[in-house]
Amino acid sequence: MKKIFNFIIVVMMAAALIIALGCGNLADKSKNADGSKATTTQAKTNESVTIKMLNIGQGDSILIKTAHQVILIDTGDVDMRDKLVELLKKENVHQIDKLIITHPHADHLGGAYAVLKDFDVKQVYDNGQTTSNATYRTYMKLITSKKIPYKQLLDCENIDFGSGVSFRVFSPTADEIKAGGDLNSNSIVGKLVYDKFSMLFTGDCEADREKVILAKYGNQLKSTILKSPHHGSKTSSNREYLKAIASEAVLISCGVNNDYKHPHDVTMNKYNDLKMKIYRTDKDGSITIETDGNTYKIRKENT
């Protein structure tokens, strides 16, 4: 009996240790979002990868092109649907291999209907949190009627963007989604890695959840570039989190003279204090990062 008791204690301690360590090392313990084991693909440094923060007003939409895949993270707001479609067509996008919706607020999900309708979307990911608004319902209806593969994307998962580019998810967890709660904080937060280059995507994740992510992942968050959380709001971008990310530049997507006054001064001051180069769509237009996995260039389009 005592032996069984000791065995149970050991099993419980091991389980607690696994939980405390999160997913562990980035390199070898992640699993792919399709459930298969993650493979470590070697980056080919001559292949160019572009990441374009599209100028779609107050909202987020980021287009990523690797040599073999087109990925779209968020789709801007409902009133910018036509502009989003126009911008994607201008970028010669026909097929979208992966559409990722960070959270179901209108300024991220609003253009999804047009994207799903007008482009050949091969796979949709979101955090699995449902809402009752019409934008969400039409998005889900279209995914079902067009039989587009759909998957919930959570902490510890790793998606392959092709050409040696991976996307590793840090948040949210299944329990956080089950608990419901704040849509912003449940945003998908993940890190794109291409050899020596990396970029942290944050949706509208708020400071309370940033603290949880920081405690769990610490310096694994370190990224060359940061997508400013929540359009530069003062309710995100806590200083310790920014220090761990330690990025050289930050990209903010926000509308000209937006109602929320994003980005907030207090956040801009933090970015300046940490000597991050700041790019923002309301002033710079669409912003393009081009990288070969070693070096990178950032270009403003001013439109």
Residue (47 or 107) nearer to Zn ion, CB = 107
Instruction: Output the six-digit token pair for 38.
Output: 């993650």
Q: How many CB atoms lie within 10 A of CB 190?
A: 26
- CB 62 within 8 Å of CB 54: yes
Number of residues that bind Zn ion (CB under 5 A): 2
- CB 183 within 8 Å of CB 200: no
Distance CA 262, CA 242 (A): 18
* CB proximity list for 217: less than 8 A, separation 6 or greater: 22, 170
Residue 76: CB minimum distance to Zn ion, A: 10
User: For residues 200-219, which are near Zn ion according to CB under 5 A?
Assistant: 204
Residue 252: CB minimum distance to Zn ion, A: 11
Instruction: Output the six-digit token pair for 12.
Output: 């419980």
* CB proximity list for 7: less than 8 A, separation 6 or greater: none
Taking residues 146 to 185 in sequence order and writing x for each that binds Zn ion by CB under 5 A, - otherwise, the string is ----------------------------------------
- Site membership for Zn ion, residue 47 (CB under 5 A): no
Residue (107 or 126) nearer to Zn ion, CB = 107
Residue (160 or 204) nearer to Zn ion, CB = 204
Dihedral class, residue 276 (left if φ above 0, else alpha if ψ from -120 to 50, else beta): beta
Exposed/middle/buried for 88, CB within 10 Å: 0-12, 13-18, 19+? buried
Residue 188: CB minimum distance to Zn ion, A: 13
Residue 74: CB minimum distance to Zn ion, A: 8
- Site membership for Zn ion, residue 107 (CB under 5 A): yes
- Site membership for Zn ion, residue 74 (CB under 5 A): no
Residue 105: CB minimum distance to Zn ion, A: 6
Residue (63 or 165) nearer to Zn ion, CB = 63
Residue 11: CB minimum distance to Zn ion, A: 43
What is the DSSP-derived secondary structure letter of residue 224?
S
Q: Which positions touch Zn ion (CB under 5 A)?
A: 107, 204
